[in-house]
A and B are shown apart, each in its own frame.
Chain A
Amino acid sequence: MELHQQYPVRLRINGQDREFNVESWVTLLDLLRERADLTGTKKGCDHGQCGACTVLVDGKRINSCMTLAVMQNGREVTTVEGLADGENLAPIQQAFIDCDAFQCGYCTPGQLCSAVGLMNEGQAKTLHDVRELMSGNLCRCGAYPQITQAVAGVMGITEPGADGKSAFTTGPVLA
């Protein structure tokens, strides 16, 4: 085997079967943006610290910058381009518009995919849970209250949680 050899990668991306030949070190993020021409998914930090690259793999949200494309061979990938049904926006997309849940919009594709993953997981019951479980997506414009409102709105969540305290209290992570 040679260092610069290419590896075949088959993915079902947003419902379409695609085939690629990539070097071992190509991340899923770089494959999506550079090889699949799906630039909706954003490269923020490229180090798993900001969440801008969040996509769904087999329905689970992951950081596409922190996995190799060759490791995802055979998987089903959903990016922000795949959330809408034709011209009909997904409920979470409409909610982001309705709640004004972005300013510059750079983090939004990752926020949207993360929100869909959060809903698939079914763990969030309160507004506190939504904030905690969206914490893997940074928004440097600071649209967090509106993002929380959008996600909670789609999920029908109204309970504040965290013992009813305000959004900014600290506290122990209790078992």
Chain B
Amino acid sequence: MNPFIFNQPKDLDGALSALQAPDTRPIAGGTNLIDLMKEGVMKPPNLVDINLIQGLDGIELDADGLRLGALGRNADTAYHAVVRERYPLLSAAILAGASPQLRNMATNGGNLMQRTRCVYFYDVGTPCNKREPGTGCPARDGFNRQLAILGTSDACIATHPSDMCVALRALDATVHVKSSAGGARAIPFADFHRLPEDRPEIDNTLQPGELIVGISLPEADRFMAHSAYIKVRDRLSYSFALVSVAAALDIGADGTIREARIALGGVAHKPWRVEAAEAQLAGQAPTEAAFLAVADAILQGAQGYGDNDFKLPLARNAIVQALTSATRGTDYARGQRDAHAAEQGEQA
């Protein structure tokens, strides 16, 4: 690991002030940054440990929705009673990622800041436009089984590795950031991560000196009964997604879909969502034919690079599977049905 100066501010103002210095990075859980530093992929000369900041680890529900502190741990978020009940999609997505140990360390803010696991990005012995701009991308004609099929550029076909972010995208989250001298911004999740274009070294729209302080999600009770996170990977657990799908449905009493949300992981440089495609499910019955049609609309323009060609049919099938699972219902929906059946039984 590169030598670096370690700074441990006691509060947010101290951290924001320390982050003003050039070549300075915050560290929270450290589960990705320390690994990247060990590999020599990132060599920050100054680290600011933000773990001592008080008041940034809360999980609160109010009339507007859910607010997650940036320093809340992934495990605490996923297992929180309110998150499990009201945002089961978010809970499931977090629990599909990493391992229990890593989820105990990793923070909500840090999850958004994860870098791609593209093997060329990680291997400092190879060129990589994301690691060293202008050196080229060996992945396009190389080992690209894990890599992107949507939103790629000539410069980069990396994927974003997060599961949590796929659910946050589906649920229209907002990222709250602060900077010194009172600066504060709210960034819609769709605008937080970016596509590689000709600047693949830039993962997101966070500006120098800005720190994520929280993530908010709008009220989402209409999706509580019908959501699913499907993650397809090379082994059953503790592995990055080949393709993942976060699906949430609002199904009316007449059985037709009122609103659908579908976001994909493992296929692009950011969580992939096509709102115009989702919209075609509104007013429709939840049938396989309808799900296949929406899958094709979402995947329009998808392109494989050889090793990852299989992701096209895989993503199509995973979308249908996720929507089918969501239709079948969450534990919450099954609980409601059981309660209803019990009530009916009592009345009879």
Residues of chain A touching chain B, judged by Cβ–Cβ distance below 8 Å, are 1-5, 7, 23-25, 27, 46-48, 51, 54, 60-63, 66-68, 70-71, 73, 114, 117-118, 121, 123, 131-133, 135-137, 170, 172-175
Contact = CB atoms under 8 A, between A and B. Distances in A.
A70 B8 CA distance: 9
Nearest to B3: A3
Contact of A173 (B34, B95, B98): B95
B105 interface: yes
A25 B101 contact: no
B102 A66 contact: yes
B105 A173 contact: no
Given A123-B79, A135-B238, A136-B99, A27 B34 contact: yes
Among A4, A67, A117, max chain B CB count under 10 A is at A67
A60 B8 contact: no
B35 A48 contact: yes
Given A61-B104, A114-B101, A175-B227, A3 B4 contact: yes
B5 A1 contact: yes
A7 B92 CA distance: 39
Pairs of residues from A and B, 10 with the lowest C-beta to C-beta distance, nearest first = A136-B99, A135-B237, A175-B88, A24-B6, A175-B92, A3-B3, A25-B1, A175-B227, A135-B238, A173-B96
B144 interface: no
Interface stretch (B191-199, B211-219, B228-236, B338-346): B228-236
B3 A136 contact: no
Contact of B229 (A1, A62, A173): A173
A135 B322 contact: no
A47 B117 CA distance: 13
A68 B230 contact: no
Q: Name the residue in A5, A60, A135, A172 with the highest tally of chain B Cβ atoms < 10 Å from its Cβ.
A: A172
A175 B35 contact: no
A7 B3 CA distance: 13
Given A70-B6, A172-B321, A175-B330, 5 more contacts: A25-B1, A62-B104, A66-B35, A71-B30, A135-B99
A47 B35 CA distance: 6
A23 B322 CA distance: 48
A46 B95 CA distance: 23
Nearest to A172: B230
Given A66-B34, A68-B30, A123-B79, A60 B104 contact: yes
B101 A61 contact: yes
Interface residues of B, number: 48
B330 A71 contact: no
A174 B105 contact: no
A152 to B, nearest CB: 16
B100 A133 contact: yes
A1 B7 CA distance: 10
Nearest to B225: A175
Contacts of B326: 175
B100 A3 contact: no
B340 to A, nearest CB: 20
Contacts of A25: 1-4, 37
A56 B322 CA distance: 36
Nearest to B236: A170
B20 to A, nearest CB: 16
Contacts of B37: 25
Contact of B101 (A2, A136, A172, A173): A136
A45 to B, nearest CB: 10
A159 to B, nearest CB: 16
Contacts of B34: 27, 66-68
21 contacts: A3-B5, A5-B5, A24-B6, A25-B4, A27-B34, A47-B38, A48-B101, A62-B105, A66-B35, A66-B105, A67-B30, A67-B34, A117-B101, A117-B104, A135-B100, A136-B98, A136-B238, A172-B321, A173-B95, A174-B229, A175-B92
Contacts of A174: 92, 228-229, 325, 330-331
Contacts of A117: 100-101, 104
Interface in B317-331: 321-322, 325-326, 330-331
Contacts of B91: 175
A7 to B, nearest CB: 6
